[in-house]
Amino acid sequence: MTRARRTPLYVALIGDVVASRRLSAKQREDLQVRLRAWLQNLNGALGPEQLAAPLTLTAGDEIQGLFRKPSSVVTVVQDLTDRMFGLEYQPHALYGAGRGPLSTGRIPPPPGQAESPALLDGLAFQHARWALEQQDESGWVRFLGFGDPPDFVLDHVLDALFGLMSTIRERWTANQGKVSFRMRRSFGDASSLSQRALAEQMNISPSVISETLKAARHLQLIEGEEAARELLATLERAPR
Protein backbone atom coordinates (compact mmCIF):
# COMPACT_ATOMS: atom_id res chain seq x y z
CA MET A 1 0.00 0.00 0.00
CA THR A 2 1.35 3.41 -0.98
CA ARG A 3 1.60 5.94 1.80
CA ALA A 4 0.07 9.35 1.24
CA ARG A 5 2.66 12.04 0.76
CA ARG A 6 2.95 14.27 3.82
CA THR A 7 2.44 17.99 3.34
CA PRO A 8 5.72 19.75 4.22
CA LEU A 9 5.54 22.01 7.27
CA TYR A 10 7.70 25.11 7.59
CA VAL A 11 8.28 27.78 10.22
CA ALA A 12 7.81 31.40 9.21
CA LEU A 13 9.33 34.20 11.27
CA ILE A 14 8.12 37.80 11.13
CA GLY A 15 9.87 40.47 13.17
CA ASP A 16 8.91 44.09 13.65
CA VAL A 17 11.00 46.85 15.22
CA VAL A 18 8.89 48.44 17.96
CA ALA A 19 8.17 52.14 17.57
CA SER A 20 10.86 52.50 14.91
CA ARG A 21 9.19 55.76 13.88
CA ARG A 22 10.39 57.24 17.17
CA LEU A 23 13.93 56.89 15.88
CA SER A 24 15.51 59.78 14.08
CA ALA A 25 15.92 59.57 10.32
CA LYS A 26 19.64 58.94 10.78
CA GLN A 27 19.01 56.17 13.32
CA ARG A 28 16.44 54.46 11.07
CA GLU A 29 18.83 54.56 8.14
CA ASP A 30 21.64 53.20 10.32
CA LEU A 31 19.40 50.41 11.64
CA GLN A 32 18.29 49.36 8.16
CA VAL A 33 21.88 49.18 6.93
CA ARG A 34 22.88 47.12 9.96
CA LEU A 35 19.86 44.80 9.69
CA ARG A 36 20.63 44.01 6.07
CA ALA A 37 24.22 43.15 7.00
CA TRP A 38 23.17 41.03 10.00
CA LEU A 39 20.57 39.14 7.95
CA GLN A 40 23.11 38.52 5.20
CA ASN A 41 25.51 37.06 7.78
CA LEU A 42 22.80 34.82 9.21
CA ASN A 43 21.77 33.65 5.75
CA GLY A 44 25.36 32.65 5.09
CA ALA A 45 25.73 30.91 8.44
CA LEU A 46 22.44 28.96 8.28
CA GLY A 47 22.32 28.26 4.54
CA PRO A 48 19.58 26.49 2.57
CA GLU A 49 19.81 23.39 4.80
CA GLN A 50 18.11 25.41 7.53
CA LEU A 51 16.40 28.21 5.59
CA ALA A 52 13.74 27.48 2.96
CA ALA A 53 13.73 31.19 2.07
CA PRO A 54 16.38 33.72 3.09
CA LEU A 55 15.96 36.18 5.91
CA THR A 56 14.90 39.43 4.28
CA LEU A 57 14.17 42.99 5.33
CA THR A 58 10.76 43.97 3.94
CA ALA A 59 8.40 46.94 4.42
CA GLY A 60 11.12 49.11 5.90
CA ASP A 61 11.79 47.56 9.31
CA GLU A 62 10.02 44.20 9.02
CA ILE A 63 12.06 40.99 9.03
CA GLN A 64 10.81 37.81 7.35
CA GLY A 65 12.25 34.35 6.87
CA LEU A 66 11.14 30.76 6.30
CA PHE A 67 12.82 27.87 8.11
CA ARG A 68 13.14 24.19 7.36
CA LYS A 69 14.53 23.60 10.88
CA PRO A 70 12.41 25.15 13.65
CA SER A 71 15.30 25.23 16.14
CA SER A 72 17.15 27.74 13.95
CA VAL A 73 14.57 30.37 14.95
CA VAL A 74 16.27 30.60 18.35
CA THR A 75 19.64 31.38 16.76
CA VAL A 76 18.15 34.17 14.65
CA VAL A 77 16.16 35.99 17.33
CA GLN A 78 18.99 35.64 19.86
CA ASP A 79 21.57 37.00 17.43
CA LEU A 80 19.47 39.96 16.26
CA THR A 81 18.35 40.84 19.80
CA ASP A 82 21.92 40.82 21.11
CA ARG A 83 23.12 43.01 18.25
CA MET A 84 20.29 45.53 18.66
CA PHE A 85 20.98 45.78 22.38
CA GLY A 86 24.53 46.78 21.54
CA LEU A 87 23.42 49.87 19.60
CA GLU A 88 23.42 53.20 21.40
CA TYR A 89 19.72 53.84 20.67
CA GLN A 90 18.81 50.21 21.54
CA PRO A 91 15.93 49.36 19.18
CA HIS A 92 13.67 46.51 20.24
CA ALA A 93 12.06 43.98 17.90
CA LEU A 94 9.07 41.70 18.47
CA TYR A 95 8.79 38.38 16.68
CA GLY A 96 6.01 36.02 15.69
CA ALA A 97 6.87 32.44 14.72
CA GLY A 98 4.29 30.31 12.92
CA ARG A 99 4.35 26.69 11.82
CA GLY A 100 2.31 25.21 9.02
CA PRO A 101 2.14 24.41 5.30
CA LEU A 102 2.48 26.82 2.40
CA SER A 103 -0.11 27.57 -0.25
CA THR A 104 2.14 29.13 -2.89
CA GLY A 105 3.90 26.19 -4.43
CA ARG A 106 6.77 23.83 -3.79
CA ILE A 107 10.03 24.86 -2.12
CA PRO A 108 13.01 23.23 -3.85
CA PRO A 109 15.11 20.92 -1.66
CA PRO A 110 18.58 22.05 -0.51
CA PRO A 111 20.68 23.55 -1.94
CA GLY A 112 17.65 25.26 -3.47
CA GLN A 113 15.66 28.02 -1.77
CA ALA A 114 12.67 30.21 -2.50
CA GLU A 115 13.75 33.58 -3.81
CA SER A 116 12.13 35.61 -1.01
CA PRO A 117 9.69 35.01 1.86
CA ALA A 118 7.77 38.07 0.69
CA LEU A 119 6.60 36.04 -2.34
CA LEU A 120 5.24 33.17 -0.22
CA ASP A 121 2.00 32.60 1.64
CA GLY A 122 0.22 29.93 3.63
CA LEU A 123 -0.69 28.92 7.15
CA ALA A 124 2.90 29.23 8.37
CA PHE A 125 2.91 32.95 7.55
CA GLN A 126 -0.65 33.45 8.80
CA HIS A 127 0.29 31.89 12.13
CA ALA A 128 3.43 34.05 12.35
CA ARG A 129 1.43 37.20 11.65
CA TRP A 130 -1.23 36.31 14.19
CA ALA A 131 1.43 35.53 16.81
CA LEU A 132 3.12 38.89 16.17
CA GLU A 133 -0.19 40.75 16.48
CA GLN A 134 -0.74 39.18 19.92
CA GLN A 135 2.43 40.83 21.23
CA ASP A 136 2.69 43.93 23.34
CA GLU A 137 5.73 46.21 23.37
CA SER A 138 7.31 44.41 26.33
CA GLY A 139 7.27 41.02 24.57
CA TRP A 140 9.92 39.15 22.60
CA VAL A 141 8.81 36.03 20.68
CA ARG A 142 5.41 34.32 20.44
CA PHE A 143 4.64 31.00 18.77
CA LEU A 144 1.58 29.63 16.99
CA GLY A 145 0.99 26.28 15.28
CA PHE A 146 3.65 24.26 17.12
CA GLY A 147 2.95 20.94 18.80
CA ASP A 148 -0.18 18.91 18.29
CA PRO A 149 -3.76 20.15 17.78
CA PRO A 150 -6.17 21.00 19.20
CA ASP A 151 -4.40 22.63 22.18
CA PHE A 152 -0.87 23.14 20.74
CA VAL A 153 0.68 22.89 24.21
CA LEU A 154 4.15 23.54 22.81
CA ASP A 155 3.05 27.07 21.83
CA HIS A 156 2.33 27.90 25.46
CA VAL A 157 5.55 26.32 26.72
CA LEU A 158 7.66 28.28 24.23
CA ASP A 159 5.78 31.53 24.94
CA ALA A 160 6.43 31.12 28.67
CA LEU A 161 10.10 30.22 28.16
CA PHE A 162 10.78 33.24 25.96
CA GLY A 163 8.80 35.43 28.34
CA LEU A 164 11.11 34.44 31.18
CA MET A 165 14.19 35.05 29.05
CA SER A 166 12.80 38.44 28.02
CA THR A 167 12.43 39.36 31.69
CA ILE A 168 16.13 38.61 32.21
CA ARG A 169 17.11 40.81 29.27
CA GLU A 170 14.85 43.69 30.36
CA ARG A 171 16.80 43.97 33.61
CA TRP A 172 20.20 44.24 31.95
CA THR A 173 22.30 47.33 32.27
CA ALA A 174 24.16 48.36 29.12
CA ASN A 175 27.38 46.88 30.53
CA GLN A 176 25.73 43.56 31.48
CA GLY A 177 24.36 43.20 27.96
CA LYS A 178 27.74 44.04 26.45
CA VAL A 179 29.60 41.47 28.56
CA SER A 180 26.97 38.77 27.97
CA PHE A 181 27.06 39.42 24.22
CA ARG A 182 30.85 39.35 24.01
CA MET A 183 31.09 36.21 26.11
CA ARG A 184 28.65 34.41 23.84
CA ARG A 185 30.14 35.68 20.57
CA SER A 186 33.77 35.16 21.51
CA PHE A 187 33.71 31.94 23.51
CA GLY A 188 30.25 30.36 23.52
CA ASP A 189 30.38 29.49 27.23
CA ALA A 190 31.06 31.10 30.59
CA SER A 191 33.80 28.84 31.94
CA SER A 192 36.44 30.33 34.21
CA LEU A 193 38.97 30.00 31.37
CA SER A 194 36.71 31.93 28.99
CA GLN A 195 36.06 34.59 31.62
CA ARG A 196 39.79 35.16 32.06
CA ALA A 197 40.26 35.44 28.30
CA LEU A 198 37.41 37.96 28.01
CA ALA A 199 38.82 39.93 30.95
CA GLU A 200 42.12 40.22 29.09
CA GLN A 201 40.30 41.41 25.94
CA MET A 202 38.36 44.06 27.87
CA ASN A 203 41.31 44.96 30.14
CA ILE A 204 39.37 44.36 33.35
CA SER A 205 39.68 41.80 36.13
CA PRO A 206 38.19 38.29 35.81
CA SER A 207 36.21 38.89 39.01
CA VAL A 208 34.41 41.83 37.36
CA ILE A 209 33.50 39.60 34.39
CA SER A 210 32.26 36.88 36.74
CA GLU A 211 30.13 39.24 38.82
CA THR A 212 28.72 40.96 35.73
CA LEU A 213 27.71 37.65 34.12
CA LYS A 214 26.15 36.52 37.38
CA ALA A 215 24.13 39.74 37.69
CA ALA A 216 23.07 39.42 34.03
CA ARG A 217 21.85 35.84 34.65
CA HIS A 218 23.97 34.87 31.66
CA LEU A 219 23.99 31.13 32.40
CA GLN A 220 20.23 31.03 32.97
CA LEU A 221 19.67 32.80 29.64
CA ILE A 222 21.91 30.33 27.81
CA GLU A 223 20.12 27.42 29.47
CA GLY A 224 16.75 28.85 28.42
CA GLU A 225 17.88 29.20 24.81
CA GLU A 226 19.24 25.66 24.75
CA ALA A 227 15.96 24.35 26.19
CA ALA A 228 14.03 26.20 23.47
CA ARG A 229 16.30 24.71 20.79
CA GLU A 230 15.80 21.21 22.18
CA LEU A 231 12.01 21.63 22.26
CA LEU A 232 11.91 22.89 18.68
CA ALA A 233 14.32 20.18 17.51
CA THR A 234 11.73 17.56 18.44
CA LEU A 235 9.71 18.83 15.46
CA GLU A 236 12.64 18.10 13.12
CA ARG A 237 12.66 14.36 13.68
CA ALA A 238 11.19 12.34 10.85
CA PRO A 239 7.85 10.71 11.76
CA ARG A 240 7.85 6.94 12.00
Instruction: Give 145's pLDDT tier (boundaries 50, 70, 90).
Output: very high
pLDDT given at position 78: 93
- Which residue ranges form the domains of the chain, and what is each CATH number? 10-106+119-169 (3.30.70.1230)
User: What's this model's pTM, rounded to 2 decimal places?
Assistant: 0.91
For 34-44, write each residue's pLDDT tens digit. Answer: 999 999 999 99
What's the rounded Cα separation, in Å, for the pair 103 and 101? 7
The pairs formed by 131-136 with CB atoms below 8 angstroms and a separation of 24 or more are 131/96, 131/97, 131/98, 132/14, 132/15, 132/16, 132/94, 132/95, 132/96, 133/96, 134/96, 135/94, 135/96
Q: Is the predicted pLDDT of residue 126 greater than 70, yes or no?
A: yes
